[in-house]
Amino acid sequence: MANVTVIGAQWGDEGKGKIVDWLASRADAVVRFQGGHNAGHTLVVGDQVYKLSLLPSGIVTGTLSIIGNGVVLDPWALKAEVEKLTAQGVEINPDNFALADNCPLILPLHRDLDGLREAAAGTGKIGTTGRGIGPAYEDKVGRRAIRVCDLAHLDTLGSQLDRLCAHHDALRAGFGQPPVDRDALVAELREIAPFVLQFAQVVWKRLQTVRKAGARVLFEGAQGVLLDVDHGTYPFVTSSNTVSGTASAGSGLGPAATGFVLGIVKAYTTRVGSGPFPTELTDATGQKLGERGHEFGTVTGRKRRCGWFDAVLVRQSCAISGVTGIALTKLDVLDGFEKVRICTGYRLRGKVLDYFPSYAGDQAEVEPIYEEMDGWHGTTAGARSWADLPAQAIKYIQRVQELIETPVALVSTSPERDDTILVRDPFLD
């Protein structure tokens, strides 16, 4: 039995929640390994809808769910999410939920700094969610973060607070803001500490025990490869590595444990916030994709930009992350289009490219080269086998996997868990 690592292969919002939920019902443990509560997963189980930001998707099915050290944790957001899910009938306790004790915290001062920077950036806005994710990661690598384990030792936090506040006070002064209120911050941490600490564990050790027992582990990524801080559309990226290799560093298990890499790929392309988007459609077709796909962010509610499928970007994402197979989602959104288009390359100042360049200026200038295919008149919604799909839809899927040089493992045809065509079982690879 293989472990499975799930990542988004576009700019996030590919439908990872449904796929992870579907896989989680067959896993023994689910691990979030990067990101923060800017991630949004919507799960539809029967007539119940669950919206998750921090908690791994396995929590809904009662699967052991773990937040790894690679995540930055807002303890107040965690408490709110636990309370909301508990009210929906989901049981969450230290037996089925564990939080890495070396996980860095997102503090109110991080949210403040995030908002101040975006407000001052003008046209140079990155388009962050304003939840303090970036500043928290900065403090982590700057070695001044407060971590989950520190909540049990708040009385001895003086020197760490000195480093943290010296940094943030200088930044806040630049924005005309008062210094950090240290006493208020410690009081807030003291109040939230008992809630957080009940779930705190040595996660790498628990995962070793799980793995030695032969259990199947599902690693759950947030955002998408095109938002990776190294490999994404920099600087319009998130503040963590979103590629599959992060599953190892962000959980405490070695790289051999990550197993089958499943890249989630939407049948068209969307993006939230600022940044380059070669196939973006600002016309009626783009509007139609957005309306039919209900393209609004789970966390922010922001409208997503929509465009045709970009095979160049997805091929690049799959190569960088070593994707074994893809899960193609939201195929039903393309039902009824007379023609569908796929981007197969770019033109940049007269030169044809088969990759997305790193330089931001070039990224903004590339023009998509399209291949056009006939659409289909039948419906793919709710299909659970190839026989349920229109012939032209199958041709579209086949062309996608040819262009991205990666096979299709799953096809999702609605938000419902069971409306899934299984081509290749990641857990049995």
Q: Angle at the Cα of 261 (from 267 to 66), degrees rounded to 5? A: 105
Is 13 catalytic? The answer is yes
Q: Hunting for tokens 């997963």 — which residue is that? A: 41
Is 41 catalytic? The answer is yes
Q: Which residues pair with 86 in a beta bridge?
A: none
Catalytic hit among 21, 37, 41, 310: 41
Record the tokens describing residue 369, joined without a space.
């080269």
Catalytic hit among 13, 21, 74, 310: 13
Q: Are 69 and 95 in contact (CB under 8 A)?
A: no
Q: β-pairing, 339-348 with 351-353?
A: antiparallel
Spell out the SS3 assignment of the chain: CCCEEEEECCCCCCCHHHHHHHHHCCCCEEEECCECCCCCEEEEECCEEEEECCCCHHHHHCCEEEECCCECECHHHHHHHHHHHHHCCCCCCCCCEEEECCCEECCHHHHHHHHHHHHHHHHHCCCCCCCCHHHHHHHHHCCCCCEHHHHHHHHHCHHHHHHHHHHHHHHHHHCCCCCCCHHHHHHHHHHHHHHHHCCEECHHHHHHHHHHCCCCEEEECCCCHHHCCCCCCCCCCCCCCCCCCHHHHCCCCCHHHCCEEEEEEECCEEECCCCCCCCECCCHHHHHHHHHCCCECCCCCCECEEECEEHHHHHHHHHHHCCCEEEEECHHHHCCCCEEEEEEEEEECCEEECCCCCCHHHHHHCEEEEEEEECCCCCCCCCCCHHHCCHHHHHHHHHHHHHHCCCEEEEECCCECCCEEECCCHHHC
Q: Are 403 and 411 in contact (CB under 8 A)?
A: no
By annotation, the residues acting in catalysis are 13, 41
